[in-house]
Amino acid sequence: MKNKIKIYRAKFELTQAQLAELVHVSRQSINAIEKAKYIPSTVLALKLASVFEVKVEDLFELEEHD
């Protein structure tokens, strides 16, 4: 699954630590999501979308092999 977390985080001028604090996870979790090593839960995906004021579909995109 592809994601645009890093792009939106830069747009909002947030560090990984700041974003992690806003959605109540560790900085390492944000890092893993950005590197596509971890797929967030539905709740976490919704929290991330809420922070960036976008739809979940704007942040995450299925790839052909998903």
pLDDT at 38 over 90: yes
Q: pLDDT tens, 2-37?
A: 999 999 999 999 999 999 999 999 999 999 999 999
Structure tokens at 33: 């999501």
Structure tokens at 23: 């959605």
The answer to whether 59 and 4 have CB atoms below 8 angstroms apart is yes
Residues 6+ positions from 48 with CB-CB distance below 8 Å: 5, 19, 23, 33, 40, 56, 59
